[in-house]
């Protein structure tokens, strides 16, 4: 069974297709270190909590790390930073390995196809993208998959732009990075990443307001809408400033990269995805900054797509699922091309259908 795997700074998500629809398995990409004792281990085992045991300590992984951090008032740790494996965490690779094993699982037979999303080369930082990409690929290979890598922005194009023959701009704004791919007929023209995302917004607002980053994140997720009127000096006002700054920065780099190419004379639809696009009003702000950017290509529309499909982890209508879904479509296409009755592409009707743009944005 072909699978798609999104290895993100905040979430690791697997998509597979069964019973005519796509299902998702998800775990937070985080862990919490706790002291080990027999009673704690017994409780974790009974609750089917994902954890590792090393010496006198336990590392609780995934969504449960957040739950336990609130109970015990302890800070979680993140195996990834700015979209790649964090060099600051010695346990990074071992933690990511366990989470990938949980969400991806072993193949039904060795050699099944898995496409894995990875960042494109950054244009504003010397981050070691190659090491990260090869490491996450190796972790999936260890499980027995035949693995392929795909730029995160291209996976958004695969996920959302079939009706335009996979011609358009895929933008993924995650916690650690922003990835952008401009594709024509499923072929990348421009593909790059920016070492800024939702974490960068939170960090800048924390510096500006003097409030803890964790508190900023909570406000952003529960009490913030782009375009609303907020008191000058408020956290929400600062969030709006830095969302604006991020979008302007990304579009400036996109314009520069496009000026280095000769894009075809075609209309390009923009598909946006990723956890940092959840904010209400995001699409409106994106459209305004896009119009001001004066890109050297014709943009037909901007969409943030929701999906209706079965899911065994979280809300499948969330835009964070687009990357894993795009990886799955790439995997299904590769699987079909290797079959005796090979078709060169997968039609959108063969996967779960999107449900249009989020009009409430």
Q: Is residue 53 part of a domain?
A: no
**Mean per-residue pLDDT of the chain:** 88
Average pLDDT over residues 6-15: 95
Q: Output the domain CATH number for residue 327.
A: 3.30.420.40
Average pLDDT over residues 132-138: 97
Average pLDDT over residues 335-345: 67
Average pLDDT over residues 136-162: 97
Summarize pLDDT for 225-269 with one digit per residue, the tens: 999 999 999 999 999 999 999 999 999 999 999 999 999 999 999
**Two tokens, residue 297:** 């290509």
DSSP strand E in 78-221: where?
80-81, 84-85, 113-118, 146-151, 168-173, 178-184, 187-194
**Two tokens, residue 154:** 């291209």
Residue 43 or residue 295, greater confidence? 295
- Name the helix (H) or strand (E) containing 5: strand 3-7
Residue 295 or residue 311, greater confidence? 295
**Two tokens, residue 7:** 């290895």
Summarize pLDDT for 103-114 with one digit per residue, the tens: 999 999 989 999
Q: Is residue 71 part of a domain?
A: no
Q: Is residue 59 part of a domain?
A: no
Is 298 within 8 Å of 267 (Cβ atoms)? yes
Residue 91 or residue 196, greater confidence? 196
Indicate the number of domains in the chain. 1
**Two tokens, residue 295:** 């890109």
Q: Is residue 58 part of a domain?
A: no
Task: Give the pLDDT band of residue 38 (cuts 50, 70, 90).
Answer: confident
- Name the helix (H) or strand (E) containing 59: strand 57-61
Q: Is residue 209 part of a domain?
A: yes
Summarize pLDDT for 13-22 with one digit per residue, the tens: 999 997 778 8
Strands 187-194 and 178-184, by their bridges, are antiparallel
Token pair 């421009």 is found at 190
- What predicted TM-score, i.e. pTM, was given to this entire model? 0.88
Q: Please give the residue range of the domain that contains residue 254.
A: 3-29+78-357
Q: Is residue 244 part of a domain?
A: yes
Is 56 within 8 Å of 36 (Cβ atoms)? yes
Tell me what pLDDT residue 317 has.
Answer: 64
Using CA atoms, how far residue 161 sits from 43, 62, 149, 291, 321, in Å, is 46, 31, 19, 20, 15
Is 15 within 8 Å of 105 (Cβ atoms)? no
Q: Is residue 62 part of a domain?
A: no
């Amino acid at each position: 069974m072909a699978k798609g795997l999104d290895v993100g700074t905040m979430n690791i998500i697997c998509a597979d297709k069964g019973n005519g629809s796509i299902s998702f398995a998800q775990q937070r990409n985080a862990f919490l270190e706790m002291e080990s004792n027999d009673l704690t281990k017994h409780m974790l085992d009974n609750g089917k909590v994902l954890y590792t045991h090393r010496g006198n300590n336990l590392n609780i992984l995934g969504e449960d790390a957040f739950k336990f951090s609130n109970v015990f008032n302890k800070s979680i740790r993140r195996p990834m930073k700015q979209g790649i494996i964090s060099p600051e965490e010695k346990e990074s690779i071992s933690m990511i390995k366990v989470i990938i094993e949980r969400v991806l699982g072993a193949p039904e037979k060795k050699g099944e196809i898995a496409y894995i999303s990875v960042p494109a080369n950054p244009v504003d930082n010397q981050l070691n993208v190659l090491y990260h990409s090869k490491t996450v690929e190796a972790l999936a290979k260890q499980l027995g998959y035949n693995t392929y890598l795909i730029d995160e922005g291209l996976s958004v194009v695969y996920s959302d732009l079939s009706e335009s023959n996979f011609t358009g701009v895929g933008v993924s704004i995650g916690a650690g990075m922003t990835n952008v791919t401009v594709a024509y007929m499923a072929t990348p023209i421009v593909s790059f990443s920016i070492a800024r995302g939702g974490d960068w917004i939170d960090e800048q607002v924390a510096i500006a307001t003097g409030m803890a980053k964790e508190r900023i994140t909570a406000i952003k997720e529960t009490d913030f809408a782009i375009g609303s009127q907020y008191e000058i000096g408020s956290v929400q006002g600062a969030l709006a400033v830095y969302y604006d700054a991020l979008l302007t920065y990304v579009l400036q780099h996109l314009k520069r990269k496009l000026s280095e190419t000769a894009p075809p004379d075609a209309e390009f639809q923009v598909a946006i995805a990723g956890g940092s696009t959840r904010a209400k009003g995001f699409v409106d702000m994106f459209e305004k900054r896009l119009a001001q950017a004066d890109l050297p290509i014709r943009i037909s529309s901007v969409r943030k797509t929701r999906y209706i499909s079965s899911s065994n982890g979280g809300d499948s209508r969330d835009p964070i699922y687009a990357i894993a879904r795009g990886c799955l479509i790439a995997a299904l296409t590769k699987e079909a091309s290797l079959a005796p009755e090979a078709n060169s592409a997968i039609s959108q009707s063969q996967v779960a259908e999107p449900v249009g743009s989020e009009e409430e944005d």
